[in-house]
Amino acid sequence: MTAVKKIAVLTSGGDSQGMNAAVRAVVRSGLFHGLEVYGVQRGYQGLLNNDIFPMDLRSVGDIIQRGGTVLQSARCKEFYTAEGQQKGADILRARGIDGLVVIGGDGSYNGANKLSKLGINTMGLPGTIDNDVSFTDYTIGFDTAVSVVVDAVNKLRDTMSSHERSSIVEVMGRHCGDIALHAGLASGAETILVPEVPFDMDEVADRMKANFAHGKRHSIIIVAEGVGKGEDVAKELMERCPTYEPRVTVLGHIQRGGTPTPFDRNLASRLGDFAVRSLIAGETDKGCGIIKGELTLTDIDKVVNTKKDFDMVTYELAQRLSQ
Ligand code: F6P
């Protein structure tokens, strides 16, 4: 395998805080190692539109602290087709770009996998708030999203306690309850509902009643969106126990904004540099991750075809501590 000389970077799918820090790391590490580095605007859609431009040290200045992505992001239907993928590979080849770093979630990794089969060396960086990418303990943006939720729950507690109400907080996580779990543990939520763990609404209502009976003045119920709508949970609780007047807060895209935490910036910086060094070392079609503090490479096929284990030990701890 020939070592890469020109690489490009793109961000794809739902954005996440820390993507900018990852782009900065890819660009600066690439330049440090003597590569030419290009940015692709608007993910795979930009690739198909040939929206590709050279990046230098200054083009990633003053972005490490910013949420969003300066490269912008998109979800691109055309790139799901074999023709779209071939067009993308041809565009990169015509520009002499032989390596591509893709920052995104599983869908974005699939695109990188296809391009590698068409002769482009690719690396995936896990950029999504959901923490649902396998073979990495953390994805870029997850830590910031959790702190957004914890901050919101702190505020909700104040008003719920004044009125002795229960608060239902719907958080993101289409298929993964990690935001709900980690924010729930950190904010002392009384109940955490996630798609990975079946639950019985009668038990949820009984637990809420017991909380108030024990002298609590609020009951916080965090619902991952993969479980369903917070409004539906509220309706079911109202039917079983109207006394504690549930109020619903849907945090929505607020969870994807704001300045990334130091943890996310450092994770993104380490992974971005690692992706470049791995391409230079001749690696391709790999997802970069961090497992127990160590940087790791895993075949993208394996990453996208393996469901991440849910952390039941932490889930049970959260249950025990919120009595
Ligand atoms: O995958 C990340 C995510 O933030 C999910 O948690 C959420 O369901 C989805 O993206 C929202 O997507 P969109 O930005 O397209 O509304």
CATH of domain 6-141+260-304: 3.40.50.450
Weakest-pLDDT range from 38-47, 49-58, 202-211: 202-211
CB 108 within 8 A of CB 124: yes
Q: Which residue do the tokens 């953390």 mark? A: 138
Residues 208, 221: Cα–Cα separation, whole Å = 9
pLDDT at 36 over 60: yes
pLDDT at 307 over 80: yes
Residues 84, 44: Cα–Cα separation, whole Å = 9
- Average the pLDDT over 188-203 and give the result: 97
Instruction: Band the pLDDT of 34: cuts 50, 70, 90.
Output: very high
Give the distance (Å) from ligand 1 centre to CA of residue 234.
22
pLDDT computed for residue 2 by the predictor: 59
Query: Which of 130, 143, 273, 285 is an active site residue?
Result: 130
Which neighbouring-strand residues pair with 193? Answer: 223
pTM of the model: 0.97
Read off the pLDDT of residues 181-192 as tens digits, 9 standing for 90 and up: 999 999 999 999
HSE-up of residue 71 (Cα within 13 Å, Cβ side): 41
pLDDT at 1 over 60: no
Read off the pLDDT of residues 203-260 as tens digits, 9 standing for 90 and up: 999 999 999 998 999 999 999 999 999 999 999 999 999 888 899 999 999 999 999 9
Task: Report the share of the chain in percent with pLDDT over 70.
Answer: 99
130 is catalytic: yes
CB 47 within 8 A of CB 92: yes
First to last CA, the chain: 58
Query: How far apart, in Å, are the Cα atoms of 262 and each of 30, 75, 140, 294?
Result: 22, 28, 11, 18
CB 172 near ligand 1, within 6 Å = yes
Question: Whose CA is closest to atom 12 on ligand 1?
Answer: 14
Fold of 144-257: Rossmann fold (3.40.50)
Residue 162, sorted as left (phi over 0), alpha (psi -120 to 50) or beta, turns out to be alpha
CB 136 near ligand 1, within 6 Å = no
pLDDT computed for residue 314 by the predictor: 98
CB 102 within 8 A of CB 265: no
pLDDT computed for residue 96 by the predictor: 98
Question: Whose CA is closest to atom 2 on ligand 1?
Answer: 14
Show Cβ contacts of residue 171 under 8 Å, excluding neighbours closer than 6 positions.
Answer: 149, 179, 180, 183, 222, 223, 224, 225, 251, 255
Q: Which residue do the tokens 């017991």 mark? A: 210
Q: How many CB atoms are located within 10 Å of the residue 253 CB?
A: 11
Task: Report the share of the chain in percent with pLDDT over 90.
Answer: 96
Question: Whose CA is closest to atom 8 on ligand 1?
Answer: 174
State the chain's mean pLDDT as an integer: 96
Instruction: Band the pLDDT of 3: cuts 50, 70, 90.
Output: confident
Domain residue ranges in the chain = 6-141+260-304, 144-257
The pairing of strands 219-224 and 121-126 is unpaired
pLDDT computed for residue 244 by the predictor: 85
Show Cβ contacts of residue 241 under 8 Å, excluding neighbours closer than 6 positions.
Answer: 205, 208, 209
The pick from 103, 110, 129 for probing ligand 1's pocket by mutation, whose C-beta has the most ligand atoms within 8 angstroms, reads 129
Q: Give the Cα-Cα-Cα angle 300, 105, 318 (nearest 5 degrees).
A: 110
Read off the pLDDT of residues 130-173 as tens digits, 9 standing for 90 and up: 999 999 999 999 999 999 999 999 999 999 999 999 999 999 99
CB 98 within 8 A of CB 57: no
Give the distance (Å) from ligand 1 centre to CA of residue 1.
37
pLDDT at 32 over 60: yes
> Which residues does the annotation place in the binding site?
14, 24-28, 75-76, 105-108, 128-130, 157, 165, 172-174, 188-190, 216-218, 225, 247, 253-256
* Same fold: 6-141+260-304 with 144-257: yes
Nearest Cα residue to 112 out of 96, 99, 131: 99
The pairing of strands 219-224 and 247-250 is unpaired
- Average the pLDDT over 261-287 and give the result: 98
Tokens of 79: 């790139």
CB 141 within 8 A of CB 129: yes
Residues 120, 98: Cα–Cα separation, whole Å = 5
